Chains A and B, each alone.
Chain A
Amino acid sequence: MTAGPGNGNGGGGGIWGTCLTGVGVLAFAFLPSILFSLSRNSAPYWLDVLNTVGLYTILALSLNVILGHAGMFHMGHAAFFAIGAYATAILNTSFGWSIMATMPVAALAAGLVAAVVAWPIIHLRGDYLLIVTIGIVEIVRIAITNDIFGLTGGSNGMYGISRPSFFGFTLIKPEHFFYFIWLTVGLTVLLFHWLENSRFGRALKFIKEDTVAAESMGVNTTRYKLMAFVIGAAWAGLAGTIFASRMKTISPESFTFSESVLLFTIVILGGKGSQRGVLLGSFLVMGLPEFFRGFQDKRILVFGAALVVMMIFRPQGLLPSKPSRYRLPGTLSERYGGQEAGDKPPPLPGGDGPGPVA
């Protein structure tokens, strides 16, 4: 990268952060082997846990575009996850499509439904939007429970969904899915990081900061909000494909309101708009309870309490998003300083620099 936004969310910051992230990713890639060498019997179980965490990471990252970047309070994300999963299940079991072929259709279907339902509500203020999005997840759940169009199997759900395969290699074991899911997580992080540090991502940032000012500076605020909503939903649809083919069986219970709340919690707890935060949030919300089996069914209660505490002491989340970093090209960089260096103000040219707001 020569100019433009630097590696904003690269890690701890600077070269050490990058190295640390690299080592972490490498260690993660060997995790299945490490787990198997530790214990042949329990390794598949722990890989399944990691796969669940990964899947929720993808979902939470997609919600992060809507909730974190655009600042829209959307608590119905499970609806789009469900649409993706059912699109894959229907195309695969009834029409014989291969799983990977259903993936783009699942994303498209979720994105399309999102565009249609969001169109009339996109301008609503935070609290109103929240209520309407809760309605969306209920409508979708009720529709699939009632076997809409005779395609969704009603409350029994759908079974016999195939496994994904690539060039004749079919993913069956947890370690196969581990690589599939976590590579998708990596791709998601990369694409959304690029998106965040672009004209598109900046527009969302302006909207989140002050919608009226953003509109007055020339940002088509409704269009960008709608696009953020559709992108997030489409990505949740894509996660639905992975979920359906991993479970082989899906039913309406997997896509309830509490699922939406869980995703919302991950983003808020980890840090709205921060991909590192969302990653941490997924591990805490989806992974941690596995270490305390007795605590499983009290999960919602515990995370509810954790959220309350967070809102009081650290409302920006555990790993809050950091300001984007820009680099000035060539001569400008010589004149005014290159890479952004923390929060320290630059040396002042004339002496009349930043002072307290009058």
Chain B
Amino acid sequence: MRILSLNNVTKTFGGLVAVAGVSCGVDRGAVVGLIGPNGAGKTTVFNMITGSTRPDDGHIFFAGHSIRGLRPHRIVALGIARTFQTIRLFPGLSVLENVLSGCHCRMRSGLVSSLLRLPGQRREERLVIERAMAELEFVGLAGLWRSTAGSLAYGDQRRLEIARALATEPRLLILDEPAGGMNEQETQELAALVGSIRDRDVTIMLIEHDMGFVMPVCDQLLVMENGILIAQGTPQEIQNNPKVVEAYLGLDEDA
């Protein structure tokens, strides 16, 4: 079953065509990798799915909803969460509060119950802290709940971003270069984490350059170059696709 489909999605910045008529689909429960050289338009595709950037043309459907042009918070509420290529935590706030930001959209307390600290509001606060701690335990950061997010090691900040995104209870999780800046061991742990996220019935889309990470983790790969989707298929098929080898994977051989 398709959970996400892109239909002829296009985005230009000034004269530059960043994404040129990309059409593709993502099956529920899959781990889909989006690969391609720098500047290919991968992040722009993610930004259009999450509502940060408005497509010039085309349609995006998620779980039966047309989400093109919706504001990001609406798309999060529908079940798409993301992390950023350059880490974008709330660095001055605690690790716990960062995860609570993800919980926000699944909470109900409004202005009046907050202003008057009504019993329902207090109960919800208690539950949401447990919920946030569960996500921190899931990514292995629970012991650091009161640290300031900005003081965490780089790899921990990446995992905190994932915990924060998971706290929104997504059906589709979008990771933009999650292994960026991670060492060998952290990257391996990340691969295991991606596996256990999928076991929670969360569909995953990720951008990553490290082929050692991408190949075993992903079921499907999408390859972009210069804003165009040049290939899609299983990692096996992509590895043997001459167009891809030439455009992207072949770079190593030339060097």
Q: Does B22 contact A (CB under 8 A)?
A: no
Kindly report which residue of chain B lies nearest to residue A325, judged by CB atoms.
Answer: B146
Across-interface contacts of B84 in A (CB, < 8 A): 213, 216
Task: Using known A-B contacts A195-B115, A200-B111, A358-B154, determine if residue A219 contacts B101 with beta carbons closer than 8 Å.
Answer: yes
Please tell me if the beta carbons of B104 and A218 are within 8 angstroms of each other in the complex.
Answer: yes
Please tell me if the beta carbons of A218 and B168 are within 8 angstroms of each other in the complex.
Answer: yes
Q: Does B21 contact A (CB under 8 A)?
A: no
Q: Does B109 contact A (CB under 8 A)?
A: yes
Across-interface contacts of A203 in B (CB, < 8 A): 104
Across-interface contacts of B165 in A (CB, < 8 A): 217
Please tell me if the beta carbons of A200 and B114 are within 8 angstroms of each other in the complex.
Answer: yes
Docked Cα-Cα span, A4 to B127, in Å, equals: 9
**Least Cβ distance of B203 to chain A in Å?**
18
Across-interface contacts of A199 in B (CB, < 8 A): 104, 107, 109, 114, 121, 124-125, 128
**Least Cβ distance of B164 to chain A in Å?**
6
Q: Which of B77, B94, B116, B133 contacts A336 (CB 8 A)?
A: B133
Across-interface contacts of A326 in B (CB, < 8 A): 94, 96-97, 129, 146
Across-interface contacts of A231 in B (CB, < 8 A): 111
Q: Does A294 contact B (CB under 8 A)?
A: no
Looking at B12-20, B85-93, B213-221, B229-237, the stretch in contact with chain A turns out to be B85-93
Please tell me if the beta carbons of A346 and B146 are within 8 angstroms of each other in the complex.
Answer: yes
Q: Does B144 contact A (CB under 8 A)?
A: yes
Please tell me if the beta carbons of B151 and A340 are within 8 angstroms of each other in the complex.
Answer: no
Docked Cα-Cα span, A358 to B86, in Å, equals: 13
Docked Cα-Cα span, A220 to B148, in Å, equals: 24
Across-interface contacts of A349 in B (CB, < 8 A): 143
Q: Does A323 contact B (CB under 8 A)?
A: yes
Across-interface contacts of B144 in A (CB, < 8 A): 345-346, 348, 353-354
Which of A220, A324, A349 lies at the interface centre, i.e. has the most chain B CB atoms within 10 A of its CB?
A220
Please tell me if the beta carbons of A194 and B117 are within 8 angstroms of each other in the complex.
Answer: yes
Across-interface contacts of B164 in A (CB, < 8 A): 217
Across-interface contacts of A324 in B (CB, < 8 A): 94, 97
Q: Which of A206, A217, A218, A329 contacts B130 (CB 8 A)?
A: A329
Kindly report which residue of chain B lies nearest to residue A215, judged by CB atoms.
Answer: B72
Q: Which of A202, A215, A337 contacts B97 (CB 8 A)?
A: A202
Please tell me if the beta carbons of A217 and B129 are within 8 angstroms of each other in the complex.
Answer: no
Contact with A along B98-117 (1 / 0, CB 8 A): 00111011010111001111
Docked Cα-Cα span, A337 to B129, in Å, equals: 14
Interface size on B, residues (CB 8 A): 59
Kindly report which residue of chain A lies nearest to residue B114, judged by CB atoms.
Answer: A198
Docked Cα-Cα span, A272 to B201, in Å, equals: 43
Please tell me if the beta carbons of A329 and B129 are within 8 angstroms of each other in the complex.
Answer: yes
Q: Does B7 contact A (CB under 8 A)?
A: no
Task: Using known A-B contacts A216-B52, A218-B77, A354-B156, determine if residue A4 contacts B143 with beta carbons closer than 8 Å.
Answer: no
Please tell me if the beta carbons of B93 and A323 are within 8 angstroms of each other in the complex.
Answer: yes
Q: Does B145 contact A (CB under 8 A)?
A: yes
Task: Using known A-B contacts A200-B111, A346-B147, A358-B181, determine if residue A209 contacts B90 with beta carbons closer than 8 Å.
Answer: yes
Task: Using known A-B contacts A212-B52, A219-B104, determine if residue A205 contacts B93 with beta carbons closer than 8 Å.
Answer: yes
Interface size on A, residues (CB 8 A): 54
Q: Does B247 contact A (CB under 8 A)?
A: no
Which of B73, B84, B97, B144 lies at the interface centre, i.e. has the most chain A CB atoms within 10 A of its CB?
B73
Considering only residues 137-157 of chain B, those with a C-beta below 8 Å from chain A are 142-148, 150-154, 156-157
Please tell me if the beta carbons of A3 and B126 are within 8 angstroms of each other in the complex.
Answer: yes
Q: Does A15 contact B (CB under 8 A)?
A: no
**Least Cβ distance of A339 to chain B in Å?**
9
Across-interface contacts of B126 in A (CB, < 8 A): 2-4, 329
Q: Does B68 contact A (CB under 8 A)?
A: no
Docked Cα-Cα span, A217 to B115, in Å, equals: 23
Which of B77, B111, B146 lies at the interface centre, i.e. has the most chain A CB atoms within 10 A of its CB?
B146
Q: Does A113 contact B (CB under 8 A)?
A: no
Which of A205, A209, A355 lies at the interface centre, i.e. has the most chain B CB atoms within 10 A of its CB?
A209
Q: Does B76 contact A (CB under 8 A)?
A: yes
Task: Using known A-B contacts A210-B90, A329-B126, determine if residue A194 contacts B147 with beta carbons closer than 8 Å.
Answer: no
Q: Does A301 contact B (CB under 8 A)?
A: no
Docked Cα-Cα span, A214 to B110, in Å, equals: 17
Docked Cα-Cα span, A209 to B98, in Å, equals: 11
Kindly report which residue of chain A lies nearest to residue B87, judged by CB atoms.
Answer: A357
Across-interface contacts of A3 in B (CB, < 8 A): 122, 125-126, 129
Please tell me if the beta carbons of B104 and A328 are within 8 angstroms of each other in the complex.
Answer: no
Task: Using known A-B contacts A217-B164, A354-B151, determine if residue A198 contacts B121 with beta carbons closer than 8 Å.
Answer: yes
Across-interface contacts of B5 in A (CB, < 8 A): none
Please tell me if the beta carbons of B73 and A219 are within 8 angstroms of each other in the complex.
Answer: yes
Across-interface contacts of A202 in B (CB, < 8 A): 97, 100-101, 104
Q: Does A221 contact B (CB under 8 A)?
A: yes
Across-interface contacts of A209 in B (CB, < 8 A): 90-93
Please tell me if the beta carbons of B109 and A210 are within 8 angstroms of each other in the complex.
Answer: no
Contact with B along A210-244 (1 / 0, CB 8 A): 10111111111100000100010000000000000
A-B contact pairs, 8 of them (CB 8 A): A199-B107, A199-B121, A200-B110, A209-B93, A217-B102, A218-B102, A220-B71, A326-B146
Nearest first, the 6 closest Cβ-Cβ pairs linking A and B are: A218-B105, A198-B114, A218-B76, A358-B154, A4-B125, A209-B90
